[in-house]
């Protein structure tokens, strides 16, 4: 887990603990979903960067 995702999880947990209303429970679930998407995009970007670094110069995108 990246530092930014850990901070977001911690903030959502603190908000939920301070006010366990249905709205805060939904907000915490939305934060978790956004963190999952951000981490997936981060992994995709890392794979694409690695692929671009190993591709021959003739096939690299400009």
Comparison of pLDDT for 55 and 36, the residue scoring more: 36
CB 60 within 8 A of CB 52: yes
pLDDT at 47: 93
Distance CA 61, CA 52 (A): 8
Which tens digits make up the pLDDT trace of 20-54? 889 888 888 888 899 899 999 999 999 999 988 88
Residue closest to 10 by CA, chosen among 34, 37, 38, 32: 32
Give CA 9 to chain center in angstroms. Answer: 11
Q: What is the pLDDT of residues 3-19, one digit of tens each?
A: 877 888 888 888 888 88
pLDDT of res. 44:
94
Residue 1 has pLDDT above 70, yes or no: no
């Amino acid at each position: 887990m990246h530092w930014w995702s850990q901070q977001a999880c911690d903030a959502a947990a603190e908000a939920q603990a301070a006010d366990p209303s249905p709205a805060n429970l939904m907000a915490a679930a939305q934060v978790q979903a956004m963190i999952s998407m951000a981490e997936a995009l981060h992994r995709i970007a890392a794979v694409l960067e690695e692929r671009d670094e190993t591709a021959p110069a003739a096939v690299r995108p400009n």
